[in-house]
Amino acid sequence: MTEWAMKPKRYVPDLRRLGALCEGNYLRLRRLRQLEAGGEPVSEFELHRENLYLGRVRIQVLQTARFTETLLLEQIHNAGKWLNNPQLTVRVYHDAGMAEVVSCYRDRQIAPVNDYPNRFMHHPDEKVQVNGFLADWLDFCLHFGHLPIELSQWSTGSEMG
């Protein structure tokens, strides 16, 4: 059998990379949630770059357990700048200090490895890619996030970063 006709290698997930992303996402989420008022189940903040309004992000607690939380993170308004507002369900493991995306847009759970090609055309490393997106989005939120004006009077400052 020639080299080009051989069956392609099966994707093996890079657990170190995924673990590092999940640990970093836990720290980013923790920083972002420090300004929540009184542990409310829903919190919101606005995204601004100078005088340009970029949207509003909501963090909603869907479920809590002794060592875990399940959160829904979604951009709920962005004045039409994005085709799809991000909407991620994230499981937070407080005992392990990790946060991982478990689903996008309330779809089924993301498999650690996908055969390729597949019905939904998910990449073999979809889980790593989605957690990488969460890292980038949380960094963006930390950089451009502000409490809404109606809540900023109760905090020590209006900027999240």
- The residue among 25, 66, 58 whose CA lies nearest residue 41 is 58
Average confidence (pLDDT) over 56-82: 86
pLDDT in tens, 110-142: 766 666 666 765 666 778 889 999 999 999 999
pLDDT at position 77 over 50: yes
pTM score of the predicted model: 0.77
Q: What's the confidence (pLDDT) of residue 7?
A: 63
Angstrom CA distances, 106 to 41, 67, 69, 71, 72, stand at: 18, 23, 16, 12, 9
pLDDT in tens, 2-53: 555 566 677 676 789 999 999 999 999 999 987 555 567 788 888 888 888 8
Report the C-alpha gap between 83 and 21 in whole angstroms: 25
Contact call for residues 110 and 130 (beta carbons, < 8 A): yes
pLDDT at position 150 over 70: no
